[in-house]
Structure 1
Amino acid sequence: MRGLGEERMNRVGKNGAIALLCSLMLLSGMGTAQAQQKGTTQSAKQSAVKVSNKVSTDLVPQIVKEVSPSVVGIIGKGDVSQVNANSDRYNLMHGTGVIIRSNGWIVTNAHVVKGLKNATVVTTDGKSYKVKEIFMDETSDLALVKITANALIPVKFAKSIQDTEVGEKVIALGTPISFSLRNSATVGVVSGLNRGVNASYRLIQSDTAINPGNSGGPLVNMKGEVLGINTMKFAAVGVENMGFSIPADTVQYVINQLMKYGEVKRPSLGLSLEESWSAIVGLPSDDPLMVTKVLSQEAEKAGIHEDDVLYSINGTAVTSIVDINELFKAYLPGQTVKLLMQSDGDIVIRKLVLSRQGLLIPDEESEAYEL
């Protein structure tokens, strides 16, 4: 009996041990499952955080919020001779402007304020201000507008557009179509740089939607800096998303001149110049410019004649009118420059005192320009 009891006890002990082992294994399995579930939950949370962070990297809403207070609407009565009175019962015209000084200085397009009467500026907070002064430069299509205001928020211009890349995301802010649509934002990319199209200076091309009323508004990069001022677009059947902006460096050049002189004092070579056929059609070219007419006494004194050929100004090669305009942003009338030219088959250097003249006056009978 004793042996049987011990054997029974041993059996019970073994069975108990087996049961305990199974319990431990079950608990261990449950723990592993819970750990796996916990790990899955943590992984899901981390993924959610990553997705959340990914969404938050879109800077467009933040930049629009930051720059928008510096963007204004400009409205007034248009010139009856330029506007179809039947198209607008109130004969109102509007555009966009950008605050550049906290004390009420605003930059916009010259074509926005030209002929505009009773011009009014409306800020993003809904306040209205009568325009007190306007300084225009139609050559660059830029103008300065002054209102009586303080503590306005000026924009920050890009110091240089040289670091801007084609394909870079940009935002256009403005007042398209209706004045009630002030501070509308459209997003696109830089389509091209240094575009010499229908303008005296090189422009930035982008595919951001630019509509009537956007003129004078900013083209902004992802740093919240103004790359340029929107000025025009190509509009025709089959043409889409081809807008152009005046680069920040040209805007600053004109602003500084208008602030200092009340006008832009542009230098002139005192010559009528003709571009090569390649330059006219936009082909890559290093062909020089030909003198078609000598217009100033300074040019005559320098010994320049018709049919002479111009290669460079102060060591910088020029192959188009826009090249000269861009170069002359660093000069004033009265300064002396050295011209590398060809005259009667000889390569010569002419010293020329820059005269004062308007810019880019094309000869209607040819492709010549007065500079």
Structure 2
Amino acid sequence: MSKLDEQNLNKKSEESTEKEMNQKERDESEGIEFSFTKEEEFNQRDEMIERKGEKKDETKEAISSKKNSKGKKSVVKGLMTNVVVGVTSSLLTLSVVSFTDFPRFHDDSSIQAEESAELHLQNSSDAQYTSTFQQTGETTIADIVEEVSPAIVGVVNLQEMQNRFNLETKEVESGSGSGVIFYKDDQYGYIITNNHVIEGASNIKVSLYNGKQVEAEIVGTDALTDMAVLRIDEKYVDKVATFGDSQTLRTGDEVIAIGNPLGLEFSRTVTRGIISGTERTITVETSAGDWELTVLQTDAAINPGNSGGALINSQGEVIGINSLKIAQTEVEGIGFAIPSNDVIPIAEELMKHGAVKRAYLGIQLYNVSDIAEFYRKSLVGSLEKGIFITSVEKGSPADVAGLQENDVIVAINGEEVETATDLRKYLYQQVKPGEKVTLDIYRDGKKQSISVQTGTN
């Protein structure tokens, strides 16, 4: 090849290269993303940095214009709840940048991350829709789980069963749930759980964080609020959970649930959700009668075996004890937890007295509205609401005051009551044991008032 031919070839090559570079620059200005090889990426780095610096003002103006036209919609679209991610579209580059501590592989990506972070902050000046669990520099879900898990235990309900062939009895597992270690002294570690988890047990075992099983004693139970306190030897307790203020919770706050769904095979399972509602009231049937529980609603998965486990806020504090869920095929993601502000006073009273002290009458009740219409007229006449007394305990405050079977209670201290739940709620929340109450009743179709001095359960 002659020197002239070689010079012409070099010239054409230079012109072709220059043309390609100009075309790439025009394409970039139109928002086209290129996929460079690593070698080309390093070769183009300095030139890209220079162009970015020259067009910074232009980019800010474009971003500001987009912000005004799209508003919050573009911000929300670019944010994910589990990891704080900024999605930035500009004249210079299209990139997805994580604000968690992911490794940076080379200087160019570091520069892109810094610029994208700056643009993200401009786009999000009105609001920051970020997860409370996984912001850079803050505690993550994994950190919280690692910190709290040693205070979460499995609770195994053992009951005696008789062999129908040889009539021998032996203890078998009747059910299992979860519990939270909430207090420790120089002798015992104390565990809060649900009453329905340990009800009817002849023996109880607790599965610790390390998998070891130890025997537990019942300190106290309260069927109405579905709470129970157990204790184990203090030498088995390495961690006590911190309880937070459930009153500060707002709908939408993020929470995690830790427990043992479906038994100990899945011990300390972690699920995540939000507070779906606060101060929900649900009616529950307990061994002590019907009761209305005030609960937190959450969409964090709560399954059989989660009962008694912890509902935890983003600070790693227990703000509820998981208790129940709506179990219907057409319902998904509706679980309930007893608020921590209700749990602690009950737990303290169970530790002191073994039971919650409440005003006591000594009567068995049935709602008039639940009586079959065929029998209602013969029992209560034309009454459609009130509480029918089915039995009176001998020697009880009600017996001493003269209450009788078939009486119908319609008011207490002048406040109308329509159901047994209404009566219990007033009696347990408004009346101290030993105080007198006035009951308005119907007997044989005639209304009268009877004064009763309450006792204690």
TM range (shorter): 0.5 to 0.7
Q: Relative contact order, CA 8 A, sep 6+: which one is greater?
A: 1
Contact 1:72 1:121 survives alignment (8 Å): no
Contact 2:243 2:340 survives alignment (8 Å): no
Tell me what 1:210 maps to: 302
**Unaligned regions of 5+ residues in structure 2, if any?**
1-50, 61-89, 93-113, 163-171, 373-383
Give distance in 2, aligned partners of 1:274 and 1:237: 31
Q: How many residues align?
A: 313
Query: Does 1:156 find its partner at 2:243?
Result: yes
Query: Does 1:324 find its partner at 2:447?
Result: no
Contact 2:261 2:269 survives alignment (8 Å): yes
Contact 2:243 2:317 survives alignment (8 Å): yes
Give 3-state SS (helix, strand or coil) of 1:259's partner. helix
Alpha-carbon deviation of 1:74? 1.8
Tell me what 1:58 maps to: 132
Q: In the TM superposition, what whole-angstrom CA distance separates every residue of 1:222-258 from its partner, at most 9, and x where no partner exists?
A: 6655443223334354443343434445533532332
Tell me what 1:120 maps to: 206
The sequence identity of aligned pairs, in percent, is 26
Change (3 A) 1:31 1:151: closer
Alpha-carbon deviation of 1:259? 1.0
Once superposed, what is the RMSD of the aligned Cα atoms? 4.4
Q: Which one-letter code corresponds to 1:310 in the other structure? A: I
Contact 1:314 1:337 survives alignment (8 Å): no
Q: In the TM superposition, what whole-angstrom CA distance separates every residue of 1:76-121 from its partner, at most 9, and x where no partner exists?
A: 5743639xxxxxxx96954211122143111012343453757134
Query: Does 1:47 find its partner at 2:119?
Result: yes
* TM-score of the aligned structures, taking structure 1 as reference length: 0.65
Give 3-state SS (helix, strand or coil) of 1:155's partner. coil
Tell me what 1:336 maps to: 435
Give 3-state SS (helix, strand or coil) of 2:365's partner. strand
Give distance in 2, aligned partners of 1:180 and 1:270: 44
Where does 1:70-81 land on structure 2 (aligned, <5 Å)?
Answer: 71-76=151-156, 78-79=158-159, 81=161
Alpha-carbon deviation of 1:335? 0.9
Q: Which one-letter code corresponds to 1:145 in the other structure? A: L
Tell me what 2:191 maps to: 106
> 2:393 pairs with 285, 288, 295, which one?
295
**Unaligned regions of 5+ residues in structure 1, if any?**
1-29, 83-89, 281-285, 358-371
Q: Which one-letter code corresponds to 1:194 in the other structure? A: T
Tell me what 1:353 maps to: 453
Give 3-state SS (helix, strand or coil) of 1:304's partner. coil
Give distance in 2, aligned partners of 1:278 and 1:93: 32
Contact 1:266 1:333 survives alignment (8 Å): yes
Give distance in 1, aligned partners of 2:52 and 2:256: 53
Tell me what 1:137 maps to: 221
Give distance in 2, aligned partners of 1:305 and 1:145: 39
